[in-house]
Chain A
Amino acid sequence: MPFEQILQYIFSGITNGSIYAIVAIGFNIIYNTTGIINFAQGEFLMLGGMTAISLSAFMPLPVAILASVVITSFVGALIDFIFIRRLKKPTVLNMVIITIGLSILIRDIALHVWDEKVRSLPYFTGSEVTSINILGAYISPQVLWVLGVSGIIVALLGVFFRVTVTGRSMRACASNMTAARLCGINTRNMVTISFMLSAAIGALAGCVVSPITQTQYDCGTSLAIKGFTVAILGGLGNSTGAVIGGIVIGLLEAFSISIMPLAYKDAIAIAVLLLILFVRPSGLFGKKEAAGLKEF
Chain B
Amino acid sequence: MSLKKLLTLIVCMAVMAIAVSCKKQNKETVKIGAIFAVTGGASFLGAPEAKTVQMLQDEINAAGGIDGKNIEVIIKDSAGKPENAISFAKQLIDENKVFAIIGPSTSGESMKIKSICDDAKVILVSCAAAESIVNPISKYVFKTPQKDSDAAQMILNLMKKKGITKIGVVSSNDGFGAEGKKQLEKLAPGAGVQILISEVYDKKATDLTGVLTKIKAKNVQAVVNWSIVPAQSIIAKNMKQLNMNVPLFQSHGFGNIKYVKEAGEAAEGIIFPCGRLLIVDELADSHPQKQVLAKYKKDYEGKYAEDASTFGGHAYDALMILVEAMKRGGSDKEKTRDALENLKGFAGTGGVFNYSPADHTGLDINGFELLTVRGGKFVKYEDK
A279 at the interface (CB under 8 A from B): no
Q: How far is the CA of A266 from the CA of B201 in the complex (A)?
A: 10
Judging by beta carbons under 8 Å apart, are B237 and A128 in contact? yes
Q: How far is the CA of A15 from the CA of B266 in the complex (A)?
A: 21
Which residues on the A side are within 8 Å of B209 (C-beta)? 8, 11-12
Judging by beta carbons under 8 Å apart, are B2 and A257 in contact? no
| Contact surface of A with B, Cβ cutoff 8 Å | 1-2, 5, 8-9, 11-12, 15-16, 78, 82, 111, 115-120, 127-131, 133, 138-140, 212-214, 216, 218-219, 222, 253-254, 257-258, 261-263, 265-266
Judging by beta carbons under 8 Å apart, are A131 and B240 in contact? yes
**Shortest Cβ distance from residue B256 to the other chain A in the assembled complex, whole angstroms:** 10
Judging by beta carbons under 8 Å apart, are B201 and A214 in contact? no
**Shortest Cβ distance from residue A169 to the other chain B in the assembled complex, whole angstroms:** 28
Which residues on the B side are within 8 Å of A212 (C-beta)? 206-207, 237
Q: How far is the CA of A118 from the CA of B263 in the complex (A)?
A: 11
Judging by beta carbons under 8 Å apart, are A261 and B200 in contact? yes
- B39 contacts which of A2, A116, A129, A261 (Cβ < 8 Å)? A116
Task: Please tell me which stretch of B109-117, B211-219, B318-326 contacts chain A, meaning at least 4 of its Cβ atoms lie within 8 angstroms of it.
Answer: B211-219
Judging by beta carbons under 8 Å apart, are B234 and A214 in contact? yes
Judging by beta carbons under 8 Å apart, are B206 and A127 in contact? no
Also in contact, A219 and B264, with CB within 8 A (given A82-B3, A111-B39, A261-B199): no
Interface digits, B181-225 against A, CB 8 Å rule (1 contact, 0 not)?
000000000000000000111101011011101100100000000
Which residues on the B side are within 8 Å of A266 (C-beta)? 202
Judging by beta carbons under 8 Å apart, are A219 and B206 in contact? yes
Which residues on the A side are within 8 Å of B264 (C-beta)? 127-129
**Closest chain B residue, CB of each to CB of A111:** B39
**Shortest Cβ distance from residue A76 to the other chain B in the assembled complex, whole angstroms:** 14
| Contact surface of B with A, Cβ cutoff 8 Å | 2-3, 39-41, 43-44, 47, 173, 199-202, 204, 206-207, 209-211, 213-214, 217, 230, 233-234, 236-237, 240-243, 258, 262-266
- A222 contacts which of B204, B217, B234 (Cβ < 8 Å)? B204
**Closest chain B residue, CB of each to CB of A122:** B264
**Closest chain A residue, CB of each to CB of B206:** A213
Also in contact, A116 and B47, with CB within 8 A (given A130-B241, A261-B199, A265-B202): yes
- B44 contacts which of A15, A116, A257 (Cβ < 8 Å)? A116
15 contacts between A and B (CB under 8 A): A8-B213, A8-B242, A12-B213, A117-B44, A117-B258, A118-B230, A128-B237, A128-B264, A133-B243, A212-B237, A218-B41, A219-B204, A262-B200, A262-B201, A262-B210
**Shortest Cβ distance from residue A253 to the other chain B in the assembled complex, whole angstroms:** 7
Judging by beta carbons under 8 Å apart, are A82 and B2 in contact? yes
Judging by beta carbons under 8 Å apart, are B210 and A253 in contact? yes
Which residues on the B side are within 8 Å of A2 (C-beta)? 217
Judging by beta carbons under 8 Å apart, are B266 and A16 in contact? no
Q: How far is the CA of A212 from the CA of B294 in the complex (A)?
A: 36
- How many contacting A-B pairs (Cβ < 8 A)? 103
Q: How far is the CA of A15 from the CA of B213 in the complex (A)?
A: 15
**9 smallest A-B Cβ distances: which pairs?**
A213-B206, A128-B264, A129-B240, A257-B210, A116-B43, A118-B230, A140-B241, A138-B243, A128-B266
Judging by beta carbons under 8 Å apart, are A9 and B213 in contact? yes
**Shortest Cβ distance from residue B17 to the other chain A in the assembled complex, whole angstroms:** 15
Q: How far is the CA of A129 from the CA of B239 in the complex (A)?
A: 8
Which residues on the A side are within 8 Å of B40 (C-beta)? 116
Q: How far is the CA of A12 from the CA of B234 in the complex (A)?
A: 14
**Shortest Cβ distance from residue B289 to the other chain A in the assembled complex, whole angstroms:** 28
Judging by beta carbons under 8 Å apart, are B44 and A263 in contact? no
Which residues on the A side are within 8 Å of B243 (C-beta)? 131, 133, 138
**Closest chain A residue, CB of each to CB of B201:** A262
Q: How far is the CA of A2 from the CA of B258 in the complex (A)?
A: 37
- Starting from the known contacts A16-B207, A140-B237, 17 additional A-B residue pairs (CB-CB under 8 Å) come to A8-B213, A117-B44, A128-B266, A130-B241, A139-B241, A212-B206, A212-B237, A213-B206, A214-B230, A218-B41, A222-B204, A257-B210, A257-B211, A258-B213, A261-B199, A263-B202, A265-B202
**Closest chain B residue, CB of each to CB of A221:** B204
Q: How far is the CA of A144 from the CA of B2 in the complex (A)?
A: 41
Also in contact, A15 and B207, with CB within 8 A (given A128-B264, A214-B234): yes
Which residues on the B side are within 8 Å of A258 (C-beta)? 213-214
Which residues on the A side are within 8 Å of B266 (C-beta)? 128-129
The CB with the most chain A CB atoms within 10 A, among B41, B201, B241, B266, is that of B241
Judging by beta carbons under 8 Å apart, are B262 and A120 in contact? yes
Judging by beta carbons under 8 Å apart, are B43 and A254 in contact? no
**Closest chain B residue, CB of each to CB of A8:** B213
Q: How far is the CA of A128 from the CA of B236 in the complex (A)?
A: 9
Judging by beta carbons under 8 Å apart, are B47 and A131 in contact? no
Which residues on the A side are within 8 Å of B39 (C-beta)? 111, 116
Judging by beta carbons under 8 Å apart, are B262 and A214 in contact? yes
Which residues on the A side are within 8 Å of B234 (C-beta)? 213-214
**Closest chain A residue, CB of each to CB of B38:** A116
Which residues on the B side are within 8 Å of A15 (C-beta)? 207
Judging by beta carbons under 8 Å apart, are A129 and B3 in contact? no
